[in-house]
A and B are shown apart, each in its own frame.
Chain A
Amino acid sequence: MAELLGTFEQSVLLAILGLGSEAYGRAVLNRVQEKLARDVAAGAVYATLERLEARGLVRSRLEAGTTVRGGRARRYYLLDAEGERALGDTRRALTAMWNNVQLPAQEG
């Protein structure tokens, strides 16, 4: 089993998965904010992206920049097979952990 992912790592990987070929830094940041329904520091997202790439869970490619970016390149991210496996493992582990668990406050 691959190493289990933290909540924020899962959010970033799921954002990449959801965005498909449009998963570049800004889009990932916005998607994560939208899903978590809160402001997220850009630094946190980029640090996570870098860490995930170093662990081989995502890979990236560069594309030419636009005028609005001051000509700076865009880095697009793509989920790797290892990343997909890690997401699956984490989901299974979480589901198993929560199976038949009822929080005391929600009990009848």
Chain B
Amino acid sequence: MSAQNSGPWRWSEALLERLLPETTRETIAGDLREEFVEGIEPKRGRLRAQWWYVRQVAGFIPWFAKEGRGMSKVLMTLSTVVLACAPWLAVMETILRHPGYAGRIAEAVGIAAICAATILAKMLHAGVVVERWLWLGAGALIVLGATAFLQNARAVHFEGFVMVISLLLVAQWVLMLATMGRKGGGSRPSVI
């Protein structure tokens, strides 16, 4: 197979390039393509080589997460959106007064508080200890998000707004775990 029609799946290569910072995107993607074409594919065959490439791409995710490349900004944006949505949810529950509305109002207030704390912690560059306390908030978010998602999926009257909010909460949880409470990110000094 020639080098022209050989190579990793386009989507996996594109994903790798999305994950990498601009400064290293070209060289790393080039190295992996070279290794794929000249090293892995001839030895392991096309399908296993593709699997190897996908694993390599997945291997960059922890690096991406540790360095917090742009993810803190995404987390801030997401927290702001959810913070804006939470009071609206509380107001709607107050107006509609469906069974169990008081509990859902309390949840909306809790979500707003976690979002506000997250935004403040990021804005004020709070220390690792403060950010680690926010992991408790992250835990609450995933429980609320997953519960809302499942309940809404099973409900007779599907509510798109609730579905969107629940997915936002899950995304926020992932970003909080990835970017918060890490001492110095990926640049922390290593010791023996």
Contacts and interface: CB of A to CB of B under 8 A. Distances in A.
B7 A6 contact: no
Given A41-B59, A43-B59, A46-B28, A69 B192 contact: no
Contact of B35 (A3, A26, A62): A26
Assign chain B's interface to a size class. 20 to 34
Contacts of B4: 67
Nearest to A54: B187
Contacts of A72: 26-27, 29-30, 33
Contact of B39 (A4, A30, A65, A67): A30
B31 A6 contact: no
Contacts of B35: 26, 29-30, 42
B38 A6 contact: no
A6 B63 CA distance: 17
Interface residues of A, number: 35
Given A42-B28, A51-B187, A67 B3 contact: yes
B159 interface: no
Contacts of B55: 41
Contacts of A84: none
A68 B33 contact: yes
Nearest to A3: B189
Interface of A: 3-9, 24-26, 29-30, 41-44, 46-47, 50-51, 54, 62, 65-70, 72-75, 90, 93-94
Interface of B: 3-4, 7, 24, 26-35, 37-39, 55-56, 59-63, 66-67, 186-187, 189-192
